[in-house]
Amino acid sequence: MKIGIVYLSISLMLVIFSLQSCQSDRVYSNSIDIQDEKWAYNQVLEFEWNIEDTASLYRLLLVVDHDLSIPFQNIYVRCKTVYPDQTLISASDVSLELLQENGKPYGECSTGANCKLELLLQEKARFPQLGKYKLSIQQNSRVDPYIGLKKIGLQVFKLGQKDQK
């Protein structure tokens, strides 16, 4: 009986430590609600986060919450990044794939068809300057507004590896 309690205690401590270490890797996390679940062209979503380590590599995830009323399998967005020195990186158009060809959603859906999808925006990203970065995301699809999106979030994680530059 004592061995079982000791084993359970050690297992519980390991889980707590691993959860804490995962949380410490997250540099930034924020979500922006889409008003009335209708994302218009003129609603630009802006995320700002601070980078304190230019030697590390980072992972950027976009988190999209939507329902099944979305009009297309994907949504096109335009992403712009601004460095701390206000240098604007050229805009890039990205297709966010929300549904498979058969209409089944990617990601996880709960009762009521509320779906959440984590999309890899960039893996092993390097931030060359210390300070505040800004990512602007603008809806750039075939329809205005794009219906069925609830919120969009950005998560930035520090990876355990350093840039080998």
Structure tokens at 19: 């959860």
Q: Report pLDDT digits (tens) over 69-121.
A: 888 999 999 999 999 999 998 788 999 999 999 888 888 888 767 899 999 99
Domain membership flag for residue 20: no
Domain membership flag for residue 1: no
Q: Report which of residues 107 and 129 the model is more confident about.
A: 129
Domain membership flag for residue 18: no
**Domain of residue 138, CATH code:** 2.60.120
For residue 164, CA distances in Å to 17, 30, 51, 58, 124 come to 29, 29, 18, 13, 11
The answer to whether 144 and 41 have CB atoms below 8 angstroms apart is: yes
The answer to whether 59 and 156 have CB atoms below 8 angstroms apart is: yes
Collapse the DSSP code of 9 into the 3-class scheme (helix H, G, I; strand E, B; otherwise coil) and give the result.
helix
Range of the domain at 110: 28-162
Domain count, the chain: 1
